Every structure is written in structure tokens, then in C-alpha cells.
């Protein structure tokens, strides 16, 4: 079994998800989406595709053409019934692949720890391991998207309505970042220096929240990801 992760920045890796893949004996490798020849990528070849986050917007494809390649690859995988998980930018690219609009959110930047509110469908999905009573999740995004036709919303919050959704049984998009670890977030905090300088982020409070919430999210992310992978046909003995 092999997983491919499309990465858009070295600081945005698999984190907590990598530990689960290792535990289940699922090998993985990164494809640097912004510089590798995605036009040659065989969409149906990997057993699992994970599309990670990034700072670009889906609507910037004219300047960043690799985004169009990712949309095409995701669309092909969904049509083929192959598992694909989109995280933040990945969830937005998936929405685009399913024909929905992606745009700057009217409520502006969402950054920090926040609780999810599950829909009825979400309560019966592996995402329930990350519900509001079990662990907040980490957010950092300014864009959002319309729920694609035929998709099922699994979670929302007070800032943005589409926090998690599924399409069919094989495609899952999450707007938040279940993959981040306490250590990796320190590098993200450096990238927030402009927000810190402009007083849009209270870094001291953010570090305090991270110390409090990151261990719980790591545990709950493990439960969520293992259950979702099991539904996709992955197991420790695969």
C-alpha cells in the first residue's frame, strides 16, 4: 500500500497523519506540487492521495498553473472511486474539482484553535472523533467554498459553514488542519510574523492554546484517520 501527499510548502507536511500511516504499514512519499510535473502524474496509481494545505488560492491558477493539474487529478480519482483526502487548500481544490466556487471568505481570516459542530451526518462519520466535546482543531485560512452539488456537509463552525464534507464514500475534505503537531506549529508561527506585527494574532495566547489543545487533537486525529482509512479498505495487515 502506498500513499502520495501533494505538498505546497515544506513546513506543511503530514505530521500526525504520517504516524498513522506508519502504524498501518502504509508507505508514503511527498510530491512537491509546485515544481514536479503533475501533467505526467497518474491519478489512479496511488492507493491513497492526500492533498495538503498551502497559502495560494484556488482562484490563482493563472499564476500557479499546477493548481489546475491538481484539480484534474482529484476529479479523476473521485470518478474512479479512489480514496482522496483534502486538507485546507486540498479541500478547496476538491470543491473546485466537484464544480463548486472557491473564494475569499466574507468573514475574513480564521486562525487559531476552534471547535467543530457536527451535522447529523457527521455524527455517524469518522470525523466525529474531532467533535466539539473531544478536541478543538487548528485553523488557518482566509478562503472558503460553496458545498459541491452532491456533497454532504459533516461539520461547521460559527465562522465558516463548510468545515468538513464528503463526496461519495471515497472523497473527504476538511478545511481545518488535523495534521499539525505542536512542534510543526512553531514554524507556522514564524510565518505569521506579519499577522503578529499587525496585532491580528496574539502569539502568546496562541502558544498557550497550542500547548493545551495539540495533544488532544493528535489523539483524536489518530482515531479519526484510522477509522476513515479502515473504511477505505486499509488495515494494519494490508
CATH, residue 116 = 3.40.50.880
In the block, which residue shows the cell 507556522?
Answer: 188
141 is catalytic: no
**Per-residue pLDDT at 153:** 98
Bridge partners, residue 31, by sequence: 6
Tell me whether residue 172 is in a domain: yes
**Per-residue pLDDT at 1:** 87
Query: pTM of this prediction?
Result: 0.96
Tell me whether residue 170 is in a domain: yes
131 is catalytic: no
36 is catalytic: no
Tell me whether residue 236 is in a domain: no
Gap between the Cα atoms of 199 and 176, Å rounded: 22
Tell me whether residue 227 is in a domain: yes
Gap between the Cα atoms of 228 and 220, Å rounded: 12
How many folded domains does the chain comprise?
1
**Per-residue pLDDT at 237:** 54
Tell me whether residue 205 is in a domain: yes
> Which three cell numbers, joined as nine digits, stand for 214?
495539540
- Domain that includes residue 196, residue range: 2-231
Mean pLDDT in consecutive groups of 10 residues from the start of the chain, 238 residues: 95 96 96 94 96 97 97 98 98 98 97 97 98 96 98 97 97 98 94 93 96 97 98 79
Q: Which of 8, 125, 129, 177 is catalytic?
A: 177
Cα 149 from chain centroid (whole Å): 20
Q: Which helix (H) or strand (E) holds 141?
A: strand 137-141
Tell me whether residue 238 is in a domain: no
Residue 148 is classified by DSSP as P
Gap between the Cα atoms of 101 and 12, Å rounded: 24
Gap between the Cα atoms of 69 and 81, Å rounded: 19
Q: Which of 12, 88, 110, 125 is catalytic?
A: 88
Tell me whether residue 13 is in a domain: yes
Tell me whether residue 22 is in a domain: yes
Amino acid at each position: 500500500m502506498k500513499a502520495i501527499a501533494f505538498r505546497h510548502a515544506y513546513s506543511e507536511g503530514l505530521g500526525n497523519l504520517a504516524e498513522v500511516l506508519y502504524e498501518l504499514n502504509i508507505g508514503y512519499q511527498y510530491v512537491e506540487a509546485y515544481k514536479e510535473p503533475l501533467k505526467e502524474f497518474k491519478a489512479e496509481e496511488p492507493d491513497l492521495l492526500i492533498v495538503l494545505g498551502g497559502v495560494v488560492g484556488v482562484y490563482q491558477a493563472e499564476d500557479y498553473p499546477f493548481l489546475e493539474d491538481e484539480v484534474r487529478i482529484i476529479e479523476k480519482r473521485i470518478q474512479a472511486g479512489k480514496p482522496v483526502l483534502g486538507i485546507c487548500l486540498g479541500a478547496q481544490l476538491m470543491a473546485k474539482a466537484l464544480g463548486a466556487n472557491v473564494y475569499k471568505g466574507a468573514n475574513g481570516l480564521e486562525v487559531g484553535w476552534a471547535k467543530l459542530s457536527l451535522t447529523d451526518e457527521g455524527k455517524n462519520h469518522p470525523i466525529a472523533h474531532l467533535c466539539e466535546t473531544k478536541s478543538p482543531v487548528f485553523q488557518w485560512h482566509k478562503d472558503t467554498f460553496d458545498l459541491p452539488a452532491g456533497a454532504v456537509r459533516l461539520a461547521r463552525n460559527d465562522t465558516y459553514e463548510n468545515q468538513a464534507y464528503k463526496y461519495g464514500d471515497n472523497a473527504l475534505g476538511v478545511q481545518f488542519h488535523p495534521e499539525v503537531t505542536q512542534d510543526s506549529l512553531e514554524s507556522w508561527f514564524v510565518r505569521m510574523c506579519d499577522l503578529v506585527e499587525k496585532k491580528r494574532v496574539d502569539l502568546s495566547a496562541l502558544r498557550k492554546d497550542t500547548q493545551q489543545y495539540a495533544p488532544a487533537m493528535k489523539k483524536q486525529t489518530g482515531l479519526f484517520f484510522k477509522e476513515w482509512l479502515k473504511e477505505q479498505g486499509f488495515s494494519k495487515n494490508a
